[in-house]
Amino acid sequence: MENINLIDTFSEFKELKSIDRATMINVLEDAFRSVLVKRFGTDENFDVIINDDKGDFEIWRNREVVADEDLEDENLQISLSDAKKIDNDYELGEEVTDEVKFIDFGRRAILSLRQNLSARILELEKDNIYHKYKERIGEIVTGEVYQIWKREILIIDDEGNELILPKIEQIPSDFFRKGDSVRAVVIRVEIRNNNPLIILSRTSPVFLERLFELEVPEIFDGLITIKKIVRVPGERAKVAVESYDDRIDPVGACVGMKGSRIHGIVRELKNENIDVINYTANTQLFIQRALNPAKIINIKLIEETKKAEVYLKPEEVSLAIGKGGLNIRLAGQLCGYEIDVYRDMDEDDEDVGIDEFADEIESWIIDEFKAIGCDTAKSILDLSVEDLVKRTDLEEETIKEVRNILSAEFE
């Protein structure tokens, strides 16, 4: 046909599989009608027919037959003499329908139409990506590293969409090269500069939760529920799980035979230590499980301030606190209590709390010792100077001075 062929434009639409046919036809028709309005002032008397299978279209104009001397608007009316040239049977008041050749509108109109269509296609594409990923927030996606910048990584998914993994959402030990495959969870989708921005995360607790769902069928099926997850990405995580079926051991199911299920998750998280804990509504028992492997003698709960005083044997204190205080901090976050660890004084009545030396030792130094679980004189003296230097941020000379003050108490 003589009309301009828009096969290329139709092809662009067909690549967008998420756009249904009705939407596609409407967008194309709107684009044509906008050109008609610009040229004729109205599009109300035009019929636009889109042949999307062929990649072309037809435009038909409807005009009323009027007497030659009554012709006022050539777009809405046609003179009787011109109507009879089309068909000799036309009479006054009848409607004449004739085809309008878009190619006659000129090159500028055709160019304008193409630009309009391209803009609408791009807009639809952005809108579809935004809504698609808005519905996928909390889901794991897999993509390929396309570009690495200082503050973020650009990842391309299977459909060529751009995803962003910021540095702060990466596990500290993550290291990626261009072309690497990456798994992360969608945590946020927003519009920035009129473009959809999909933010991924590997540090979110949701990422760990989704990994458990992938590895543990009982969680995916709802037989086991993850009650809460707390983690320090790349270091340690605690996961509280509960089973509604007494026949299922939730911890055993999550760990798997010889750790088969949890090993895959640990590898994905760059060897992050994961403690799976059996959830219970009994707060004291829950705290005890959260501080595992330390053996607790007694727990006192202070509900008003949401504090828990935990008493342990001297040799268990460091286990409860963990490296850098990580174990006790995560246990507190998991249980919702601020946990304070105390050495059980029943075994050694002669020991003296370190706070008793506040007049001789500065408070910030006392806090340093407390942070590693040394809250009594003998708990500090039981450790060597070398151990104390490694475990605290104190200078060797400072530690020696403190030990001399504490030793004098027992001489």
pLDDT (mean) for 238-267 = 92
pLDDT (mean) for 268-276 = 94
Binned at pLDDT 50, 70 and 90, residue 240 comes out as: very high
Using alpha carbons, select from 261, 284, 267, 371 the residue that is nearest to residue 325. Answer: 371
Q: Residue 10's pLDDT is what? A: 54
CA distances from 58 to 21, 50, 99, 275 (A): 18, 7, 7, 68
How far from the centroid of its chain's Cα atoms is residue 159's Cα?
Answer: 18
pLDDT tops 50 at residue 107: yes
DSSP per residue, 347-400: G-TT--BGGGGTTTS-HHHHHHHHHTT--BHHHHHTS-HHHHHHHSS--HHHHH
In this structure, what DSSP letter does residue 176 have?
-
Could you give the 3-state DSSP secondary structure of residue 272?
Answer: coil
This prediction has a pTM of 0.67
pLDDT tops 80 at residue 110: no
pLDDT tops 60 at residue 349: no
Q: Residue 28's pLDDT is what? A: 78
Is 165 within 8 Å of 152 (Cβ atoms)? yes
pLDDT (mean) for 331-355 = 79
Q: Residue 164's pLDDT is what? A: 96
Q: pLDDT digit string (tens) for 138-163?
A: 999 999 999 999 999 999 999 889 99
Q: pLDDT digit string (tens) for 160-185?
A: 899 999 999 999 999 999 999 999 99
Amino acid at 43: D
Q: Residue 14's pLDDT is what? A: 52
Q: CA-based Rg of the chain, rounded to a whole angstrom?
A: 37
399 against 246, higher pLDDT: 399
Mean pLDDT in the chain?
85
Using alpha carbons, select from 331, 345, 237 the residue that is nearest to residue 284. Answer: 331
Backbone CA torsion sign across 107, 108, 114, 118? positive
Q: Residue 228's pLDDT is what? A: 96
CA distances from 305 to 201, 338, 339, 346, 367 (A): 33, 8, 11, 26, 20
Q: Which of 112-116, 189-193, 212-216 has the lowest mean pLDDT?
A: 112-116
Bridge partners (DSSP) listed for residue 226: 241
